[in-house]
A and B are shown apart, each in its own frame.
Chain A
Amino acid sequence: MKSMLAAFVAVAVIALGADIVLEGMGYSVEDANAGPAVRLDDAGE
């Protein structure tokens, strides 16, 4: 039971971590599609 709960907590931690890391690496849709001539939200600023 402890292993199961630990795994579920790990799922949440990995998901949050993935979001933060990928966002930080510029893999958001905004970052991927923005450019010098294309502003999407504030990613192109």
Chain B
Amino acid sequence: MPRLLLSFLLSLVLCLPASAQEMSDTDRAATGGAQTLEDILARQRGEKIDDSFRREATGNADSAAGIAAQLGTLGGASDPELWRALRYGTADITVSSGGDAARVLMQDGGMRWLQFRDGPLSVKGAGLLGGTLVFLVLFYMMRGRIRIDGEKTGRTVTRFKAIERFGHWLMAGSFILLGVTGLVSLFGRKVLIPAFGHEAFSTLAIASKWIHNNVSWAFMLGLAMVFVMWVMHNLPSRTDLKWLAQGGGILSDGKHPPAKKFNAGQKLIFWSVIVFGASISLTGLSLLFPFEMPMFAKTFAILNETGLAGLAGYGELPTQLAPHEEMQYAQLWHSIMAFVLMAIILAHIYIGSVGMEGAYDAMGSGEVEEQWAREHHSLWLEEVQNREGAAAPADGKATPAE
């Protein structure tokens, strides 16, 4: 019996190190409460660790030694504790100017932003644009230019008034400038400096920044104009389903599903431009006036409350963001939206120029060949002709010019 008791006690003693090992995740006695090797390794593995033991260890003013005593001047916080408070943004900072943003002396989120910006954002963004261009070239090689199938009538129909074309080109011209200068800004350090050198890029970067900042207002004005002028024509209708079911007829000759002023494809482009353009504009304004238009903490709070963040697999999104983090999220979202819209617009430019005979005239002179209108916007042509009360006036115009 004593032997049995002894072996039981021995087993118990031998188990102790094992249980101590299991608790090592949270037991930081060996380091005096500081992070352990396991903490560092876990962070390097990319695991999410509870850093409250560091975040909250920023000293205690109430336990400060008297001002005349030894260490009294530290005010209850050692140097490491002060640096920790700076590191986690809880230190009481006074600045001469710059507001809340200047009070953030360390912001480690910047590293995540930079890595994402120089990594996935740049690589996938370039891939998206390059892939779209390759797709369009292949499509052109296979399909060729979509010609007007029927015999041309020689008569034209006014498709877009001057003010509509002005709004379109105001937005289009500014978008191309913004797209090019945005790409210059994003790829400058990685691509342009190695290719052209610092001096040349400096001049290009300064010009790009000026253009990007100031031309943005023309884009926003054009976006608002286009929305007001065309929103009623772009509301979904049953005709769109038929158009989509036939692929818009762009894959084969002689197939022309009926469409009103805008077909389903154009409606998709319209709403993409409006939604993506508005999102780009809002984040652009946030970037134009740094730290004055924070919007992501509020958006994240709404996403958390509605459960949308969880549904998208992101868990709980942060609702306490440093001013710099707001700007970082704004820059990333701005770029992501811009890349997607640029890819869509490349396809739009293709079909409006080399991809389809007669399409450019709609935005060039505003006058389109009547047969083109009959093939691509038959319902709209009927409406116009009914409205004007004459299918083909003697002067060669289906409708009078504006």
Residue positions of A touching B, CB distance < 8 A = 1-4, 6-8, 10-11, 14-16, 18-19, 27, 32-38
Chain A residue nearest to B169 (CB atoms) is A7
- What would 12 more interface pairs be, CB under 8 Å, given A11-B177, A15-B217? A3-B165, A4-B364, A10-B170, A11-B173, A14-B218, A18-B213, A19-B210, A35-B97, A36-B96, A37-B96, A37-B97, A38-B96
0/1 interface trace, chain B 232-257, chain A, CB 8 Å (1 if under) = 00000000000000000000000000
Q: Is the CB of B166 within 8 A of A15?
A: no
Q: Is the CB of A7 within 8 A of B166?
A: yes
Q: Is the CB of A3 within 8 A of B221?
A: no
Residue pairs across A and B with CB atoms within 8 Å: the count is: 69
What residues of chain B lie closer than 8 Å to A6, measured between beta carbons? Answer: 166, 169
Q: Is the CB of B366 within 8 A of A3?
A: yes
> Whole-angstrom distance between the alpha carbons of A32 and B98 in the complex?
8
What residues of chain B lie closer than 8 Å to A2, measured between beta carbons? Answer: 162
Chain B residue nearest to A35 (CB atoms) is B97
> Whole-angstrom distance between the alpha carbons of A4 and B363 in the complex?
8
Q: Is the CB of B217 within 8 A of A18?
A: yes
Q: 29 A-B Cβ contacts within 8 A?
A: A1-B364, A2-B162, A3-B162, A3-B165, A3-B169, A4-B169, A7-B165, A7-B172, A7-B222, A8-B173, A10-B218, A11-B218, A14-B215, A14-B217, A14-B218, A15-B217, A15-B218, A16-B214, A18-B213, A18-B216, A27-B289, A33-B98, A35-B96, A35-B98, A36-B96, A36-B97, A37-B96, A38-B97, A38-B98
The SS class assigned to the A binding surface is helix
0/1 interface trace, chain B 285-298, chain A, CB 8 Å (1 if under) = 00001100000000
B174 within 8 Å of A (CB atoms): yes
Q: How far is the CB of A36 from chain B (nearest CB, A)?
A: 8
> Whole-angstrom distance between the alpha carbons of A29 and B98 in the complex?
10
Q: Is the CB of A1 within 8 A of B365?
A: yes
> Whole-angstrom distance between the alpha carbons of A12 and B316 in the complex?
44
What residues of chain A lie closer than 8 Å to B169, measured between beta carbons? Answer: 3-4, 6-8
Q: How far is the CB of B145 from chain A (nearest CB, A)?
A: 21
What residues of chain B lie closer than 8 Å to A4, measured between beta carbons? Answer: 165, 169, 173, 363-364
What residues of chain B lie closer than 8 Å to A16, measured between beta carbons? Answer: 214
What residues of chain A lie closer than 8 Å to B289, measured between beta carbons? Answer: 27
What residues of chain A lie closer than 8 Å to B218, measured between beta carbons? Answer: 10-11, 14-15
Chain B residue nearest to A40 (CB atoms) is B97
What residues of chain A lie closer than 8 Å to B363, measured between beta carbons? Answer: 4
What residues of chain B lie closer than 8 Å to A33, measured between beta carbons? Answer: 97-98
Q: How far is the CB of B360 from chain A (nearest CB, A)?
A: 10
8 Å CB interface, B153-171 against A: 162-163, 165-170
What residues of chain B lie closer than 8 Å to A15, measured between beta carbons? Answer: 211, 214-215, 217-218
> Whole-angstrom distance between the alpha carbons of A18 and B213 in the complex?
9
> Whole-angstrom distance between the alpha carbons of A44 and B174 in the complex?
34
Q: Is the CB of B365 within 8 A of A11?
A: no
